[in-house]
Every structure is written in structure tokens, then in C-alpha cells.
Structure 1
Amino acid sequence: MLRFDPFTDIDAITKSVLAAGTGNGRSPRFMPMDLYKVEDQYVLHADLPGVDPGSVDVHIDGSTLTLTAHRTAHSEEGVSWLASERFAGTYRRQLSISDDIDAEQIVASYDKGVLTVTLPIAEKAKPRRIQVSSGPPSPAETVEGEMQVQVEA
């Protein structure tokens, strides 16, 4: 009896497509990260175990934040590998950031294999309370027939 499972072929194709361009047996495939918001900033943690701290680079160009790091492979001379599962090479991850981030105040640190990037929210993007006055607007609050709203920071 011949069994036919159409999902086997689809699964194989999906795995090959998703694996394409993600590195070879000795090069990095991904940079796992966590990203969360706390108070007035976003915090990114990226796992980069065994990476040389001097190779870690955080670069911003317009609205693109690029994280780059390199892990050097051990010398393979005279070595008989029994298992080789740790990746070596260059890790790179790019993220789009909004104009609501204060790019001038971004800070980064690398400690114990974890890259931490703090992305503060710009003052203009923070929530604020708008004071509402009662009664008709005064002439100082009106310019060319348009009503002006006073903003408290």
C-alpha cells in the first residue's frame, strides 16, 4: 500500500525556503532578541554568546537600527571534530524604528553575552495633558480665527 501525504512535500519546501540565506553549518543563523517598553523607553536584549565585545556595533541610519557582531571560529588545525554546532561568523539584525525614538540618546552595552540597547522615547511622543480652559477663547489664544490649545509638559 502506498501512502500519500501532501504535507510532507510542503513541509520540506517550507524548511528549505526558510533556511535559505540563514547561514551555513558554521555561520550564524539568527540573533534572538527580546524587545519591551518600560516607562519612557524601549529596551532590546539580544543574545550574542561568545562574541568578541570589540566586534559589537550598533549603528543607526535614518530609521534603521543595525546590530552587528562577530564570533571567531576556533582554530581547526589538527582537530578531529566530534560535534560542531556552535556558529561562527557575523551576526546582523536590522530593525525599523519610528520618529518617536530619540536617536541621539540611544545607549548600548554588552555584558555576559547579552547586548542591551536602550531606545528612549522622544519628548514630543510622550503622552501629555492638555489644559482646557472654560469660556470663549481670549484674543491671545486665537490666531487668524483658529483656536490655539495650550499644552502643559
Structure 2
Amino acid sequence: MTLLRFDPFRDLERLTEQALTGARGPRAMPMEAFRRDDRFLVALDLPGVDPGDVDVTVERNVVTVRARRAPLRQDGDQLLVDERPQGEFSRQFFLGDNLDTTRLSAEVDRGVLVLGIPVAEASKPRKVEISTSSETAEDEPRIAERASREEPANV
């Protein structure tokens, strides 16, 4: 079962952006992903972001999270220090084919966006019944006939 597929180009894009802009701060949307029973949960930190400024979209197996954080200062305020990331942020990740993207859920609690992605029914383990055939005297002629039609194995 896979939740995330590796995307080397996203990591390369992030490194290039850091090199060109000199941005060395923390990621704007740190993520934690884990499986609990038949669901995968993805938690993204979005402190100070209004839930109305968060957008989650799913296209095929790609989830995109976009968020916007505005500064708290107002016109006329004298800025002394500004270390909080602001502006538009986005994070994309790829889901495995074993997940049901049509039933993805999203919830914000205390600045953490939690996405719940259930495992698709077709991907869940299921028990396969094993049947037994009781060979009686009536079955012996059919078994002998079937064996005579089979070609002998070359040894």
C-alpha cells in the first residue's frame, strides 16, 4: 500500500527555489503522513491560516493544498521584525492507486489541516474461501480420463 509516490522533480524544484531566492527558512507547510487502520492521514501545519483561506483539490491521484496567510499588521503599524512566512503557499503530493480519492475528507483543528484518505475497497485484504473436492468412487473414472488426456511430462 502506498500513500505517496516519490517525485524527484518536486525536491529539485524546492532546492532550486532555495538556491535562487536564498530562502533557508522552515517549510511553509510541514507534513506528517501515516496509516491508521484502513485510512491514511496526512497532517499539514497551517498556523495562523483562516480555514476559509485553505483550498484542497484532487485531480486523479494528485492532491494539491493551497493556503494564504496574511500579515497581522495594518496600515500605519511600524514593522520591527517580520519572520513569519506570509503569502500563498502550496503543497502537492501523489497518492497511490490503492486509495479512494473520491472519499477524501479535510478538517482543520488548531492550525492543523488533517486529510483522511480511505483505502479503496478493491485494495483491502479479503479472505478467499478454499473449496475441497471429495473424490469418491464415482469421480475416479473422470479423474482417470482426465489424466489419460494430459501429455506426459518430459524428464
TM-score by length of 1: 0.68
CA distance in 1, matches of 2:75, 2:22: 23
Normalized per residue, the structure richer in strand is: 1
Percent identical residues:
37
Unmatched tracts of structure 2, length 5 or more: 1-14, 135-155
CA distance in 2, matches of 1:49, 1:21: 26
Q: Which residue of 2 aligns with 1:131?
A: 129
- 1:56 aligned to which of 27, 30, 54: 54
- Aligned length, in residue pairs: 120
Q: Which residue of 1 aligns with 2:19?
A: 20
Unmatched tracts of structure 1, length 5 or more: 1-15, 137-153
CA distance in 2, matches of 1:36, 1:90: 26
Query: RMSD between aligned alpha carbons?
Result: 2.6
CA distance in 1, matches of 2:133, 2:54: 58
TM-score by length of 2: 0.68
By relative contact order (CA 8 Å, sep 6+), the higher-ranking structure is 2
Normalized per residue, the structure richer in helix is: 2
CA distance in 2, matches of 1:74, 1:23: 24
- 2:93 aligned to which of 88, 92, 95: 95
Letter of the 1:19 counterpart: Q
Describe the SS at the equivalent of 2:47. coil
CA distance in 2, matches of 1:101, 1:23: 37
